[in-house]
Amino acid sequence: MMDVAVNKEMKGRNKIHPQKFALYAALASIMMMFAAFTSALVVRRAAGNWLEFRLPDIFFYSTAVILLSSVTMQASYYYFKKGNAALYRTLLVITTVLGISFIYLQYQGWTAMYDIGLPLSGGPVSGSFIYLISGAHAAHVLGGIAVLVVALLHAYILPYKATPRRKLRFEMSLIYWHFVDFLWVYLLTFFVLQS
């Protein structure tokens, strides 16, 4: 029999904040979008008439940059919680700079592709896929940079205080940033395995 006692037990649920949960749901959705892109590539490749090529090296440098930015973001969060306002702010700035550098390097990667005869259109479709997928990813990183800019404004304008509200915000920005990082690593691995 279910009675009121059982209900009291449930008081402690909601372990995960609804907004954070909503973020995870949204990330699952974004993941599906990229799963669709990569499956499309696989299906198209299986149909034959497919040009193989080596990815320009720049894409590997950009990977290192975005991986590093994840580390600095995590560290910034660590110091935010620890109460070290100076390090928290500096690391956040570094993360943002790394994020912007990533976009710049991706852009260099696209020009490198163009230079080796793989334009977006009019060339082999295997090249178009790289532009499409890395472009869609870059759009998500730009979204992440926007989030970082907001976080920077908070960091520099508001007086330092680790309130639960700000902690939640930070965690959500952190999750998203790790996500775009992880997503890129997945995409790069996929590109490499496919060629």
Partner 1 sequence: MESTDKTIIAPAYEEDVLIEELGYDDHFHDHHHGDKYQSNFVTTYIFSQDHKMIAKQFLITGMFWALIGGLMSLVFRLQLGFPEESMAWLKPVLGKWISISEAGVGTLAPEFYYALVTMHGTIIVFFVLTAGLSGTFSNLLIPLQVGARDMASPFLNMLSYWFFFLAGVIMFLSLFLSTGPFSGGWTAYPPLSALPQASSGSGAGMTLWTISLVFFVVSVLLGGVNYITTVLNLRTKGMTMWRLPLTIWAFFVTAILGLLSFPVLFSGFLLLIFDRELGTSFYLNEIFVGGQALEYAGGSPVLYQHLFWFLGHPEVYIIILPAMGIVSEVLSVHARKPIFGYKAMVYSILAIGFLSFIVWAHHMFMSGVNPFISNFFVIFTLIIAVPSAVKVFNWISTLYGGNIRFNAASLFGIGFVSMFISGGLTGIFLGNSAIDIVMHDTYFVVAHFHIVMGVAAMFGMFAGIYHWYPKMFGRFMNDTLGRIHFWGTIIGAYAIFWPMHYLGMAGVPRRYYSFDSFETFRHFGTMNQFITIAAIIVFALQVLFVINFFYSIWYGKKQKTRNPWGATTLEWTTPIRPGHGNWEGKIPTVQRWAYDYGKDGKEFIPQILPPQEGESEEVH
Q: Which residues bind partner 1 (CB under 8 A)?
A: 1-4, 6-8, 10-11, 14, 16, 18-19, 21-22, 25-26, 28-30, 32-37, 39-40, 43-44, 47, 49, 120-122, 124-125, 128-129, 132, 136
Q: How far is the CB of 178 from partner 1 (least distance, A)?
A: 19
- Angstrom CA distances, 138 to 50, 107, 131, stand at 25, 9, 10
If the CB atoms of residues 22 and 116 are measured against partner 1, the closer one turns out to be 22
Q: 150, 69, 75: which is closest to 103 by C-alpha?
A: 69
Q: How far is the CB of 95 from partner 1 (least distance, A)?
A: 26
Q: How far is the CB of 120 from partner 1 (least distance, A)?
A: 6
- Angstrom CA distances, 96 to 5, 93, 151, stand at 50, 5, 10
If the CB atoms of residues 34 and 77 are measured against partner 1, the closer one turns out to be 34
If the CB atoms of residues 159 and 165 are measured against partner 1, the closer one turns out to be 165
Q: How far is the CB of 24 from partner 1 (least distance, A)?
A: 9
If the CB atoms of residues 79 and 186 are measured against partner 1, the closer one turns out to be 186
- Angstrom CA distances, 12 to 8, 17, 23, 124, 143, stand at 8, 12, 22, 57, 34
In angstroms, the CA 94 to CA 161 distance is 21
Dihedral sign, Cα of residue 104, residue 146, residue 158, residue 74 = negative
Q: 108, 73, 111: which is closest to 92 by C-alpha?
A: 73
Q: How far is the CB of 123 from partner 1 (least distance, A)?
A: 9
Contact 119, 75 (CB under 8 A): no
If the CB atoms of residues 71 and 136 are measured against partner 1, the closer one turns out to be 136
